[in-house]
Amino acid sequence: MNKFTYSNPTTIYFGEGQIAALAEAIPQHAKVLVLYGGGSIKTNGVYDQVAKALSNHNWGEFSGIEPNPQYDTLMQAVAKIQNEGYDFLLAVGGGSVVDGTKFIAAAARFEKGDPWTILSAHAPVNQALPLGCVLTLPATGSENNAGSVVSRGQDKLAFMSPLVRPAFAVLDPQTTLSLSPTQVANGVIDAYVHILEQYLTYPVNAKVQDRFAEGLLMTLIEEGPKALATPDDLDVRANVMWSATQALNGLIGSGVPQDWATHMIGHELTGHFGIDHARTLSIVMPAIMKHCRADKHDKLLQYGARVFGITEGDEQSRIDATIAATEAFFKTMGVPTRLSDVNLDTNAIDVITEGLKAHGMTHLGEHGTITPEVAAQILHLAR
Ligand code: NZQ
Ligand code: ZN
C-alpha cells in the first residue's frame, strides 16, 4: 500500500427529514446564500424544506446554476455575494450546483486577478467562503470531496482545494425520488466509474481499499437496476446514495494508484459535444479496459473474479468476459457504450485529442502513458 494522508471532516446528515438539521448545522449569525439549479427543488418540495429549516437565519438565494456549471453564471453569484455580503454558501441540488458553489466560494475570496486562473492555471486557493450542501442527485461525490468541475464554453476544467470541501452534506434519499430514469442511471454509472478509476490499475496489496471498492461496485450492480425498476423504493435509493458518496470521498482512493483517463477524455466529450457526464464515461471506460488490458491485467482478473464471479477459462478469456460483463451492466442501466450510440463518428476523435492537448492532458493513466495519440487509439475502440 502506498503512503497517504486522509482527512474527511465533512459532517454527513443522512436519511429522511435530515434537511431540518440545517437549522443547527449553519452558524446562527451567518448571512446565508442558498444556491440552486434550474428549479427541480421548487417542484419536489426540497426548497420548502430548506426554507423552513432556515426560518431563523438571514438568507438570500441564487438560482440558475446549469448542469456542467458555467463560469459566467457562477461569476454572477460572486458579484451578488460581494454586493450583498453573504458569508456562508448552501448548495442545494446535484453535483453541478455543489461544484459551482465550490468555485463561487473560492472565487469570492480570490485576490490575485481573474478567478478563471484557479481552473486554467492551477492558481492557488488560499481562502474560500465556508459552504455546506443538500444533495439531490447521487452521482459525483462532490458533496463529500474537495473537487469541482467548471465549464467555460468548450473548456471543462477541474480544481481541488481542501478549503472548498463542504462542512456538511445533507443526504436525504427521499429528495432523489423526483429524478428522471436518465438521471438515476447517470448517477449510478458516474459512481461506478469513479470506483473503477481508483481500483482498476495495478495491485499494491491494499486489501481494505480493494474490498471496499468491490463491495461498492457490487452494491451498484445490485441496486442500480432496482432504482430504475422500482423507483419508489427508498431503501434502494439510500443504498445508491451512500455508495455514490463513498465512491469518491477519498477513502477507497487513499494509498492506491489511480487512473482518471476516462474522466479526462469524457470531459472533452462533454465540452465539445454536450454529452451527459456519465454517458461519456460509459463510452470511454470499456475501451480503456480493452486498450490497457496488459497494464491492468492483474486487477481485471481480480475485478472479474470478485465482482462478477468470472473464474473459468484462461486469463485472456476471463478478461474478455469481465469487460463484456461491465458493458452489459452499463447497457442494463440504459447508457451508451459506443460513440456511434451518441451519433459521433471518427471526426469526433480528432476534436477530443486536440482538446486533451489544449488542456495539458498529455500523460493520463496510472502510468502516465495515455498520450493524446493513445487516447485516439482508445476512442477508435469505442466507435
Ligand atoms: O438544475 P435542476 O433543476 O436542479 O435539475 C438538475 C439537472 O438538470 C436535475 N436534478 C438534480 N436533482 C434532481 C434533479 N431533477 C429532479 N429531481 C432531483 N432530485 O438533474 C440534472 C443534472 O444535474 P447535475 O447536477 O448536472 O448532475 P450531476 O450530479 O451528475 O453533476 C454533474 C457534474 O458534476 C461533475 C461533472 O463533470 C458535471 O459537471 N463532476 C464532479 C465531480 C466532483 N466534484 O468530484 C466528479 C465527477 O466525476 C464529475 O466530473
Ligand atoms: Zn464523474
Listed by start position, the domains of the chain span: 11-175, 181-381
For residue 147, the ligand closest to its alpha carbon is 1
Looking at residue 84, what is its pLDDT?
Answer: 98
Percent of the chain, pLDDT > 70? 100
**What does the DSSP 8-state code read for residue 271?**
H
> What is the mean pLDDT of the segment spanning 223-248?
98
Region of residue 259 (left: phi > 0; alpha: psi -120 to 50; beta: else): beta
Nearest alpha carbon to residue 308 among 294, 320, 321, 297: 321
CB 119 within 8 A of CB 93: no
Buried b (16+ CB within 10 A) or exposed e, 214-233: bbbbebbbebbbebbeebee
**What does the DSSP 8-state code read for residue 70?**
B
Confirm or reject: Cβ of 262 under 6 Å from ligand 1. no
> What is the mean pLDDT of the segment spanning 291-320?
98
Quick: pLDDT tens for 2-34. Answer: 999 999 999 999 999 999 999 999 999 999 999
Checking if the pLDDT of 337 tops 90, the result is yes
Q: Whose CA is nearest to atom 31 of ligand 1?
A: 95
Residue 176: other Cβ atoms inside 10 A:
27
Residue 285 alpha carbon to ligand 2 centre in Å: 12
Quick: pLDDT tens for 84-127. Answer: 999 999 999 999 999 999 999 999 999 989 999 999 999 999 99
Model confidence band, residue 298 (pLDDT cutoffs 50, 70, 90)? very high
Checking if the pLDDT of 275 tops 90, the result is yes
Q: Whose CA is nearest to atom 8 of ligand 1?
A: 67
Residue 68 alpha carbon to ligand 2 centre in Å: 11
> What is the mean pLDDT of the segment spanning 231-235?
98
CB 47 within 8 A of CB 93: no
Confirm or reject: Cβ of 138 under 6 Å from ligand 1. no
Quick: pLDDT tens for 136-172. Answer: 999 999 999 999 999 999 899 999 999 999 999 999 9
Looking at residue 248, what is its pLDDT?
Answer: 98
Looking at residue 215, what is its pLDDT?
Answer: 98
CATH class of 11-175: alpha beta
Looking at residue 125, what is its pLDDT?
Answer: 97
181-381 and 11-175 share a CATH fold = no
Q: Helix, strand or coil for residue 133?
A: strand
Residue 2: other Cβ atoms inside 10 A:
11
Q: Helix, strand or coil for residue 13?
A: strand
Residue 313 alpha carbon to ligand 1 centre in Å: 41
For residue 187, the ligand closest to its alpha carbon is 1
Looking at residue 112, what is its pLDDT?
Answer: 84
Confirm or reject: Cβ of 245 under 6 Å from ligand 1. no
Residue 29 identity (one-letter amino acid): H
Model confidence band, residue 279 (pLDDT cutoffs 50, 70, 90)? very high
Looking at residue 150, what is its pLDDT?
Answer: 97
Q: Which three cell numbers stand for residue 351?
A: 476534436
Checking if the pLDDT of 378 tops 90, the result is yes
Q: Which residues surround ligand 2, an ion (CB under 5 A)?
A: 190
217 Cβ neighbours under 8 A, 6+ residues apart:
192, 195, 196, 199, 303, 307
For residue 270, the ligand closest to its alpha carbon is 1
The correct answer on CATH 3.40.50.1970 for the domain covering 181-381 is: no
Looking at residue 283, what is its pLDDT?
Answer: 98
